[in-house]
């Protein structure tokens, strides 16, 4: 709903101001990740008879959500979407704004936009191409195909299928999975994410400059100096 879209933007703003964070898990409730736009709201918008907070029409909604999900993707946090139950339409697009996706048994990702006479508008199409490639993205969008955990894993859309579908246990498993990437000082983890984001989004020369600048923020820093004192042997 429009209210939920605004609330999501507010949470993203909070996360942008969270200077000590390293990781983020996005998950649903009631064994549903996200079933996409409220169809009653969409109908009202398409009839131009309703305004949702500051979102006055479909195109504004599109740009509002593109902006929110792009900001989510660019957070200096390593993020994972924990997909339990259905991730349909806009919910499928939301999964692509995370760095990783984990699925539980019986869960499903589906880009159903074609059946609604639409294409993704929240940036999910562009992000999907970068995750699975143009051929697979065309199949998923053109066929509105159902993606169970096995197929999502084979396409590279999902990183792993967790063993348990229980909501609480799955969240614990997702935390344990994410910890392998967030272990260590926040300054270093956030620097890693910034370098990867620059490499993904910027032309090479700009990405190299960003990498140099980020390197300068950690070189000689506490984590770097402590590592030199320990003189770890890499195996």
Residue 84: inside a domain, yes or no? yes
Q: Are 170 and 190 found together in one domain?
A: no
Q: Please report whether residue 192 resides in a domain.
A: yes
Residue 129 lies in a domain: yes
Inter-residue contact 52 to 45 (CB < 8 Å): yes
Residue 183 burial (CB count, 10 A): 11
**Which pTM was predicted?**
0.88
Is the domain of 109 the same as that of 26? yes
Q: State whether 42 and 111 are in the same domain.
A: yes
Residue 172 has pLDDT above 80, yes or no: yes
- Domain ranges, residue 200: 186-230
The 10s digit of each residue's pLDDT in 117-163 is 889 999 999 999 999 999 999 999 999 999 999 999 999 999 999 99
Residues 147 and 221 in one domain: no
Of 180, 199, 214, which marks where a domain is finished?
A: 180
Identify the burial level of 189 via C-beta atoms within 10 angstroms of its C-beta, where 0-12 means exposed, 13-18 middle and 19 or more buried. Answer: buried
Q: What is the pLDDT of residue 168?
A: 87
Tens of pLDDT, residues 92-116: 999 999 999 999 999 999 999 999 8
**Residue 47 within a domain:** yes
Confidence of residue 215 (pLDDT cuts 50, 70, 90): very high
Three-state DSSP at 171 gives: helix
Q: What's the mean pLDDT in 21-26? A: 97
Contact 113, 141 (CB under 8 A): yes
pLDDT at residue number 130: 96
- 46 and 85, same domain (yes or no): yes
Residues 109 and 199 placed together within one structural domain of the fold: no
pLDDT of residue 44: 56
Query: For the chain, how many structural domains are there in total?
Result: 2
Q: What is the DSSP string of 83-147?
A: E-SEEETHHHHHHHTSSEEEE-TT-EEE--GGGGT----SSHHHHHHHHH-HHHHHHHHHTT-EE
Classify strands 160-161 and 86-88 as parallel, antiparallel or unpaired. unpaired
The confidence score (pLDDT) of residue 47 equals 54
For Cα atoms 214, 216, 219, give the angle at the middle one, nearest 5 degrees: 115
Is there a single domain that holds both residue 170 and residue 197? Answer: no
Q: Using an 8 Å Cβ cutoff, are 36 and 61 in contact?
A: no
Residues 34-80: pLDDT tens digits?
Answer: 987 665 555 555 554 445 444 467 788 889 999 999 999 999 999 99
**Same domain? 35 vs 132:** yes
Instruction: Kindly tell me if the per-residue pLDDT of 235 is higher than 70.
Output: no
Q: Comparing 62 with 215, which gets the higher pLDDT?
A: 215
In a domain, 235, yes or no: no
Centroid of chain to Cα 225 = 33
Mean local confidence (pLDDT), 185-204: 96
Strands 108-110 and 146-147: antiparallel
The answer as to whether 167 is a domain residue is yes
Residues 56 and 79 occupy one common structural domain = yes
Contact 18, 71 (CB under 8 A): no
Please identify, among 180, 205, 222, the residue that sits at the C-terminal boundary of a domain: 180
Q: Residue 26: is its pLDDT beyond 70? A: yes
Q: Are residues 100 and 202 in the same domain?
A: no
Q: Which of 30-39, 134-143, 166-175, 216-225 is predicted with the least confidence, judged by mean pLDDT?
A: 30-39
Q: Indicate which CATH number applies to the domain containing 161.
A: 3.90.226.10
- Cα 134 versus chain centre, distance: 19
- In angstroms, the CA 135 to CA 150 distance is 18
- Mean pLDDT over 186-207 rounds to 97
88, β-bridge pairs = 110
By the 8 A CB rule, do 67 and 141 touch?
Answer: no
φ and ψ at residue 156, rounded to 5 degrees: 85, 10
Residues 92, 174 within the same domain: yes
Q: Is residue 91, in this structure, part of any structural domain at all?
A: yes
* pLDDT value of position 54: 43
Residues 56, 109 within the same domain:
yes
pLDDT of residue 174: 96
Query: Rounded to whole angstroms, how far apart are CA atoms 223 and 69?
Result: 31
Helices 204-218, 186-201: axis angle to 10 degrees equals 170
In a domain, 161, yes or no: yes
């Amino acid at each position: 709903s429009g209210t939920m879209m605004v609330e999501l933007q507010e949470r993203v703003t909070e996360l942008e101001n969270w200077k000590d964070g390293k990781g983020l898990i996005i998950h649903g409730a009631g064994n549903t990740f996200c079933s996409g736009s409220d169809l009653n709201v969409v109908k009202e918008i398409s009839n131009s008879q309703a305004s949702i907070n500051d979102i006055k029409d479909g195109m504004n909604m599109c740009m509002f959500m593109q902006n929110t999900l792009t900001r989510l993707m660019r957070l200096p946090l390593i993020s994972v979407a924990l997909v339990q139950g259905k991730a349909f339409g806009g919910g499928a697009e939301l999964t692509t704004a995370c760095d990783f996706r984990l699925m539980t048994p019986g869960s499903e990702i589906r880009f159903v936009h074609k059946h609604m006479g639409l294409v993704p508008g929240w940036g999910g199409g562009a992000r999907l191409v970068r995750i699975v490639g143009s051929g697979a993205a065309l199949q998923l969008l053109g066929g509105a195909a159902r993606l169970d955990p096995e197929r999502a894993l084979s396409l590279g859309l999902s990183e792993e299928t967790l063993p348990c579908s229980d909501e609480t246990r799955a969240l614990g498993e997702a935390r344990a999975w994410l910890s392998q990437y967030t272990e260590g000082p926040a300054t270093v983890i956030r620097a890693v994410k910034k370098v990867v984001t620059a490499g993904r989004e910027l032309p090479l020369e700009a990405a190299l400059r960003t990498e140099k600048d980020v390197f300068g923020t950690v070189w000689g820093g506490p984590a770097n100096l402590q590592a030199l004192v320990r003189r770890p042997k890499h195996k």
